Amino acid sequence: MARPVWSGTISFGLVAIPVKLFHAVRRKSVSFNQLDERNLARIRYRKVNAETGEEVSDEHIVKGYEVSKGRYVVVDPDELEPFMPAVTKTIELEEFVDLDQIDPVYFDTAYHLAPDANAKPYALLAQAMEASGKVGIGRFVMRNKQYTAAIRAEEGRMVMSSLAYADEVVDPLDIEEIAGLDDVEVSDKEVLMAESLVESLSADFEPEKYHDEYREQVMALIEMRADGEEITTPKVAEDDAPKVIDIMAALEASVAAAKASRENHPAQRATKKKAATKRSSKKKAAAKKKTAAKKQADKKSA
């Protein structure tokens, strides 16, 4: 059973809508503990002084910010207190914008917003936002940290994503390899061939097709070892990917391979078989009709 990570209200104008916040994504990974191989006991870590190697108790540990190599500014927690955002239980929507105005690079963690208590105000806002195609932008505080968030509506429900701040987003032009792309020349023929490859590989997005294969294989290995089964470690495949020398030749070969793959796909074969059966049925129906007409003509002439 999912548990809310935050509860409060969505506020815009004089309207307040009680809501609960639930994680929309549960990250999955394989994590290992470090053990002593002699008795499989957990390895623990101690807080030690980097210069003396002596263990340091919590009473002597302070917060410091490194302003230059080896130079720190010590800050007392009491000095930070006035800057902490006020703990509120409100997501204050300040404006509504078009979704396509938000670069996807700004989206961070996603949450499901669920109604708390009276669901009618929630449903009303969700339907109004969906009809207008707008996204609500606001701020809220969770665990003593302030976030900017975007709330969008889909099929009568609302989803909220925390947003990165503008000064956190890396300007792509700061990356030398990207900044130099303006000097790269491509021909119209190359662009058309690349578009053809994109078109031949186009499909509807089905997230269920994609899996964390590494995690699944590691968990399978762990389960086998836990059951006492013998494990044969597979050989690591060598990276024998060919180097692209002739871009046009590579594009043409890729397009041909994509088309062949589509034609051999089970769904495509089923479609072709269905079409062939339909054509055969039409031919048979036409032949029967022709035979019937001939018999009718023969009767009249007789």
45 CB-near residues (< 8 Å, 6+ apart): none
Nearest residue to 159 (alpha-carbon basis) of 25, 24, 27, 1: 24
Q: How far apart are CA 94 and CA 163, in angstroms?
A: 14
* Domain residue spans of the chain: 6-26+84-168
Distance CA 255, CA 196 (A): 7
pTM of the model: 0.72
CA distance linking residue 199 with residue 258, whole number of Å = 10
Is residue 162 a contact partner of residue 140, using CB atoms and an 8 Å limit? no
Could you tell me if 87 and 140 are in contact, meaning their C-beta atoms sit under 8 angstroms apart? Answer: no
Each residue's pLDDT expressed in tens, for the chain with a length of 302 residues: 789 999 999 998 888 999 999 999 999 999 999 999 999 999 998 999 999 999 999 999 999 999 999 999 999 999 998 888 887 899 999 999 999 999 999 999 999 999 998 899 999 999 999 999 999 999 999 988 999 999 999 999 999 999 999 999 999 999 999 999 988 998 999 899 889 988 888 899 898 998 988 899 889 888 988 888 887 777 776 666 656 567 778 778 887 887 787 776 665 555 555 666 666 666 666 666 666 666 666 655 55
**Extended beta strands in 24-89, E state:** 35-36, 41-42, 63-68, 71-75
Q: 244 pairs with which residues across the strands?
A: none
Please name the residues in contact with 102: beta carbons below 8 A apart, sequence gap of 6 or more. Answer: 135, 150, 163
**b/e map 207-233, b = 16+ CB within 10 Å:** eeeeeeeeeeeeeeeeeeeeeeeeeee
Angle of helix 266-301 relative to helix 247-264, nearest 10 degrees, comes to: 60
Give the pLDDT score at 289.
65
Which of these, 31, 26, 22, lies nearest to 2 by C-alpha position? Answer: 22
Q: Return the CATH architecture of domain 6-26+84-168.
A: Beta Barrel (2.40)
